[in-house]
C-alpha cells in the first residue's frame, strides 16, 4: 500500500472513530500531519511577509540615509503598531472559525469572516490619524524636521498597507481554520518574487526613488489579498463561503469584545519588545548597545516566525477539537505542538550558544559591536528557547478563547515584573543592556510558567462545553443565511 493511501486511511480512521481509539504511534502520526498542514505554510508565509519589509528597507537604504532613517522609523513605530492592533483583533476570528469548523457549522465561517472585516475596518479608521499626521506627531516628539517630513510622506503610503492588513489577516485565519492555508503560502512566494523584481526595476533601474520602493511594497502586500479573496469567493471554500450576507451586521458586539481582548493580548507583547529598545537608548555607550541589540532582535525576529507558525497551528488544532467536542484530542494537540516547537527551540538554543559573536559579522564589521553581541548571545539563546514555548501556549489561549485572561497575565508578567526588574538591573546595578534584557526575560519566563499552569490545570471537558455554547449562541441557521443572501442579491 502506498504512503498516501496509508495517510488517508489513518486520517479517515481518526475522523470516524476519534483520535482516542488510535494507537499512540497512529495518534502521533495523525496529529503531526494535521499540525504541519497548518504550521508549515504559516511559517513560510510569515518568513515571506517579514522578508517584504527587509527587502523594502534594503532598497530604500540605497536611496539615501534620510529616507532609510524615515522608513525605519515609520516601520518600527507606526506600521508595527497598526500591524499589532489589527493582527491581535483578527485573532478573534481564529477562535470563532476554528470552533465553528470543528462543530461542522461550516456556513458560519463566512458570516464570522464578514463580521471581522467590519470590526477591523472600523479599527483601521481609528488608526488612520497616526498615518495622516505623521510629520507633526514626530516633530512634536522631537524628531528632526527633515526626517519627520520624509516619514510623513511614507506614512501616507502606509495607509494603503494598513488597510491591506484587514483582508490579509482575516482571510489567513479563515483559511487556516479549515487547514487550507497552502494557497496563502503560494501567494506569499509569488508576491515576494514580484516584490524583489519590482523594487530593483523601480528604484535601481528607473530611479523612481522612494515612490518606486513604496509602490512595490504596497503591491507586495495587496497581491496575496487579491488572490485570497478570489480563492475564498470563487469556489475554493464552497462549504464555508455562502456569499455576502446582511447577517454580518448582526451580533457584532460579542465579536468586538473578543477582538478587543485579542488585540490587547498581542499588543502588550509587541510593545514589550519596543520598550526594551527604548530603555537601551538611554544607557551608556548607547550606539554600540543599540546596534548589538538590533542584531540580536533581528535574529530573534526571524526565529519568531517559526514560533508564530506553531502559534497558528496550536490555535487551529485546539479550536477545531474543542468545536468537535473532543477534550482528549485537544490536550494531545497541545502536547504535540509544544514538544515539536520546544525541540526546534532546543536545537537553535544550542546553535546560538555555540556561534555567539560570529553571527554579528553577517550584519556588521565592527569588532566592538560583535563583542557586544557575543556577550548578549546567551540571553538571545534563552529568548529563543522561551519563544519556542510561549507562543504555542498563546495559540492554545486563542484557540480556547482565553484572550482576556492572557491579556491580564501579560500586564502582570511584563509590566509589573519584567520592565521594573530590567530598569533596576540596567540602571541601578549598572548591568546596562544585559540587565534590561534579563529583566525582560524574567517577565517572559513568568508569563510562560503561568500559561503552563493555566493550561495544565484547565478542565478541558468544561472547555468543550464552553466552545459548544459559544458556537450555539452565535449560530445562524443555514436557511436564514441563505434567505439573507437571496434578499441581499435582490
- Give domain status of residue 113, yes or no: yes
Got the DSSP string for 421-489?
Answer: HHHIIIIIS--HHHHHHHHHHHHHHHHHHHHHHHHHH--HHHHHHHHHHHHHHT---HHHHHHHHHHHH
Percentage of residues of the chain with pLDDT beyond 70: 87
pLDDT (tens digit per residue) in 75-134: 877 888 888 889 888 888 888 999 999 999 998 999 999 999 999 999 999 999 999 999
Mean pLDDT for the stretch of residues 61-75: 85
Is the pLDDT at 368 greater than 60? The verdict is: yes
Choice between 291 and 175, residue whose per-residue pLDDT is larger: 175
| Whole-number Cα distances in Å, 225 to 2, 118, 352 | 37, 16, 36
Residue 462 pLDDT class (50, 70, 90 cuts): very high
Domain around 454 = 14-478
Looking at residue 352, its pLDDT comes to: 84
Looking at residue 300, its pLDDT comes to: 80
Is the pLDDT at 282 greater than 80? The verdict is: no
- Give domain status of residue 431, yes or no: yes
Residue 19 pLDDT class (50, 70, 90 cuts): low
Looking at residue 3, its pLDDT comes to: 42
Is the pLDDT at 387 greater than 70? The verdict is: yes
- Give domain status of residue 488, yes or no: no
- Where are any strands of DSSP class E within 282-422? none
Is the pLDDT at 9 greater than 60? The verdict is: no
> Cβ(322)–Cβ(102) under 8 Å?
yes
Is the pLDDT at 475 greater than 70? The verdict is: no
Residue 136 pLDDT class (50, 70, 90 cuts): very high
Residue 284 pLDDT class (50, 70, 90 cuts): low
Mean pLDDT of the residues in the chain: 84
- Which of 8-12, 395-399, 420-424 shows the lowest per-residue confidence on average (mean pLDDT)? 8-12
pLDDT (tens digit per residue) in 231-278: 999 989 999 998 988 888 887 787 888 888 777 777 777 677 667 666
The radius of gyration computed from the CA coordinates of the chain, to the nearest angstrom, equals: 23
C-alpha cell read off for 455: 493550561
Looking at residue 289, its pLDDT comes to: 64
Looking at residue 155, its pLDDT comes to: 95
Looking at residue 377, its pLDDT comes to: 86
Choice between 46 and 159, residue whose per-residue pLDDT is larger: 159
Mean pLDDT for the stretch of residues 376-390: 88
| Whole-number Cα distances in Å, 436 to 93, 103, 293, 439, 449 | 35, 46, 11, 5, 20
pLDDT (tens digit per residue) in 300-345: 878 888 988 999 999 999 999 999 999 999 999 999 999 999 999 9
Looking at residue 20, its pLDDT comes to: 56
> Cβ(111)–Cβ(248) under 8 Å?
yes
Q: Provide CB contacts within 8 A for 247, sequence distance 6+.
A: 111, 476, 480, 481, 484
Query: Could you identify the residue written with the cell 519590482?
Result: 198
- Give domain status of residue 437, yes or no: yes
> Cβ(406)–Cβ(265) under 8 Å?
yes
- Give domain status of residue 98, yes or no: yes
For the four alpha carbons of 388, 390, 394 and 399, in that order, the dihedral sign comes to positive
Q: How many domains does the chain have?
A: 1
Is the pLDDT at 285 greater than 90? The verdict is: no
Looking at residue 2, its pLDDT comes to: 44
Looking at residue 16, its pLDDT comes to: 45
Provide the CB-side half-sphere exposure for 334 (13 A, CA). Answer: 26
212/254 Cα distance (integer angstroms): 42
Name the region of 431 (left: φ>0; alpha: ψ -120 to 50; beta: rest).
alpha
- Give domain status of residue 7, yes or no: no
Looking at residue 26, its pLDDT comes to: 87
- Give domain status of residue 9, yes or no: no
453/463 Cα distance (integer angstroms): 16
Mean pLDDT for the stretch of residues 40-49: 90
- Give domain status of residue 391, yes or no: yes
C-alpha cell read off for 138: 514626530
pLDDT (tens digit per residue) in 399-442: 998 888 888 898 889 888 988 998 899 888 888 778 888 988 99
Looking at residue 433, its pLDDT comes to: 77
Amino acid at each position: 500500500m502506498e504512503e498516501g493511501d496509508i495517510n488517508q486511511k489513518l486520517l479517515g480512521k481518526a475522523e470516524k472513530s476519534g483520535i482516542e481509539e488510535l494507537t499512540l504511534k497512529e495518534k502521533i502520526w495523525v496529529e503531526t500531519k494535521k499540525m504541519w498542514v497548518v504550521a508549515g505554510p504559516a511559517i513560510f508565509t510569515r518568513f515571506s511577509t517579514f522578508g517584504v519589509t527587509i527587502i523594502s528597507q534594503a532598497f530604500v537604504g540605497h536611496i539615501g540615509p534620510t529616507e532609510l532613517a524615515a522608513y525605519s522609523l515609520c516601520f518600527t513605530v507606526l506600521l508595527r503598531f497598526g500591524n499589532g492592533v489589527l493582527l491581535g483583533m483578527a485573532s478573534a476570528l481564529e477562535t470563532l472559525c476554528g470552533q465553528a469548523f470543528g462543530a461542522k457549522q461550516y456556513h458560519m465561517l463566512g458570516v464570522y469572516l464578514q463580521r471581522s472585516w467590519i470590526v477591523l475596518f472600523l479599527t483601521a479608521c481609528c488608526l488612520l490619524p497616526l498615518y495622516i499626521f505623521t510629520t507633526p506627531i514626530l516633530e512634536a516628539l522631537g524628531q528632526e524636521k527633515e526626517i519627520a517630513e520624509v516619514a510623513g510622506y511614507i506614512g501616507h503610503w502606509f495607509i494603503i498597507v494598513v488597510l491591506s492588513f484587514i483582508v490579509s489577516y482575516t482571510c489567513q485565519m479563515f483559511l487556516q481554520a479549515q487547514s487550507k492555508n497552502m494557497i496563502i503560502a503560494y501567494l506569499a512566494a509569488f508576491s515576494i518574487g514580484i516584490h524583489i523584481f519590482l523594487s530593483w526595476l523601480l528604484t535601481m533601474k528607473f530611479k523612481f526613488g522612494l515612490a518606486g520602493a513604496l509602490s512595490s511594497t504596497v503591491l507586495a502586500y495587496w497581491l496575496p489579498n487579491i488572490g485570497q479573496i478570489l480563492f475564498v469567493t470563487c469556489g475554493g471554500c464552497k462549504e464555508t463561503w455562502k456569499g455576502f450576507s446582511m447577517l454580518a451586521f448582526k451580533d457584532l458586539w460579542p465579536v468586538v469584545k473578543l477582538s478587543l481582548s485579542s488585540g490587547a493580548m498581542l499588543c502588550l507583547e509587541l510593545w514589550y519588545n519596543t520598550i526594551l529598545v527604548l530603555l537601551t537608548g538611554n544607557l551608556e555607550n548607547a550606539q554600540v548597545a543599540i546596534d548589538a541589540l538590533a542584531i540580536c532582535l533581528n535574529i530573534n525576529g526571524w526565529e519568531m516566525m517559526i514560533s508564530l507558525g506553531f502559534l497558528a497551528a496550536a490555535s487551529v488544532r485546539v479550536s477545531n477539537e474543542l468545536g468537535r467536542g473532543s477534550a482528549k484530542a485537544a490536550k494531545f494537540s497541545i502536547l504535540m505542538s509544544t514538544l515539536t516547537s520546544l525541540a526546534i527551540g532546543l536545537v537553535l538554543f544550542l546553535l546560538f550558544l555555540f556561534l555567539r559573536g560570529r553571527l554579528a559579522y553577517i550584519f556588521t564589521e565592527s569588532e566592538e559591536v560583535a563583542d557586544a553581541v557575543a556577550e548578549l548571545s546567551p540571553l538571545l539563546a534563552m529568548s529563543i528557547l522561551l519563544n519556542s514555548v510561549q507562543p504555542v501556549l498563546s495559540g492554545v489561549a486563542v484557540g480556547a478563547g482565553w484572550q482576556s485572561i492572557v491579556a491580564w497575565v501579560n500586564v502582570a508578567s511584563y509590566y509589573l515584573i519584567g520592565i521594573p526588574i530590567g530598569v533596576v538591573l540596567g540602571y541601578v546595578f549598572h548591568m546596562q543592556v544585559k540587565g534590561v534584557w534579563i529583566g525582560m526575560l524574567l517577565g517572559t519566563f513568568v508569563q510562560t510558567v503561568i500559561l503552563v499552569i493555566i493550561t495544565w490545570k484547565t478542565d478541558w471537558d468544561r472547555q468543550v462545553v464552553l466552545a459548544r455554547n459559544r458556537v450555539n449562541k452565535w449560530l445562524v441557521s443555514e436557511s436564514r443565511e441563505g434567505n439573507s443572501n437571496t434578499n441581499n442579491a435582490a
